[in-house]
Amino acid sequence: MGIAYCLIRTSPENIEVLRDRPKAVAEFVYQDPDVYEEPKSSFLSKLFGNKAQTDDGPVPKRLEGDEEDIDKSWHIVHYLLCGDAGRGDGPLAIIGDDLNPLADINLGLGKPNIISADWVKEFAELASHMTDESFLERYVPEEMPLNELYMGDVVARGDVGDIREYALENFQFLRDFASEAAENGQAIITYYT
C-alpha cells in the first residue's frame, strides 16, 4: 500500500462541466453514480435552514484508455523533472501543481487538481526533448533530499538502481500520456490515492 498519483485525460469542456461539482467529479473519476456521499449538514446549517444544493446534472463520459498512474514514484519523478521536493516552478513541475482544485471533494488524499490544456502542452513539449539520460541527471542519491521525498527512504536503504529504473519507467509513462493529451488538446485531472 502507498500513495499513488493518478491522471485522467479529458477535454477542457468536460473540466468546465465538472468544476465545483463534487458529486459529478466522484462519479466521473470512479465511474460509479453511487460512490459519492453527501457531507453531513453542520449544526448551524440545520439551525438556519440552509439546504445543501443537489447536483443531478449530466456527467461527461470517460474515454477508453484515458487514465494512467505513475504509482508511488510520483515524488521522485517530480524531483527529477524540476529539481524541487516542494511544489516546484514551471511546466515541468506539473506533479507538484496542486493550486487548481476541480471541486471540494477528497478523493482519498486531497482534492482532484486540474492541469490545463495549455500547461499540458508546455509540459509535453519540454518532456519530449528529455532523453532518459537527461531525466536521470538529478538522480544522485547523495545529493538528493531523500528525507523530503516520498520513497526517499527506499533509496536511502540502498535500493538505488531499482528506484532509478522505476522512476524512469514512470517518467516515460507520464511523458507519453501528456504527449497524447497535448495532441488532443486535453487537460488532465490529477489525484492521489
Domains and CATH numbers, the chain: 5-36+56-192 (3.40.1760.10)
State residue 53's pLDDT score.
53
User: Of 58-62, 68-72, 105-109, 184-188, which range is least confident?
Assistant: 105-109
Task: Extract the C-alpha cell encoding 81.
Answer: 523533472
Residues in the chain: 193
88 versus 108: the higher-pLDDT residue is 88
Closest of 81, 95, 85, 83 to residue 128, by C-alpha: 81
Beta bridge partners of 9: 188
Are residues 167 and 73 in contact, defined by beta-carbon separation less than 8 angstroms? Answer: yes
% pLDDT > 70, the chain = 90
State residue 49's pLDDT score.
58
Q: Cell numbers 522512476 label which residue?
A: 167
Phi, psi torsion values for 72, nearest 5 degrees: -90, 0
User: pTM surpassing 0.75?
Assistant: yes
Has residue 35 got a pLDDT over 80?
Answer: no
Task: Extract the C-alpha cell encoding 125.
Answer: 513539449
User: Of 24-28, 52-56, 99-103, which range is least confident?
Assistant: 52-56
- Chain centroid offset of residue 88 CA: 14
Q: Where are the beta strands (DSSP E) in the chain?
A: 5-10, 67-69, 113-115, 187-192
Has residue 51 got a pLDDT over 60?
Answer: no
What percent helix, strand, coil does the chain show, rounded to 5? 45, 10, 45
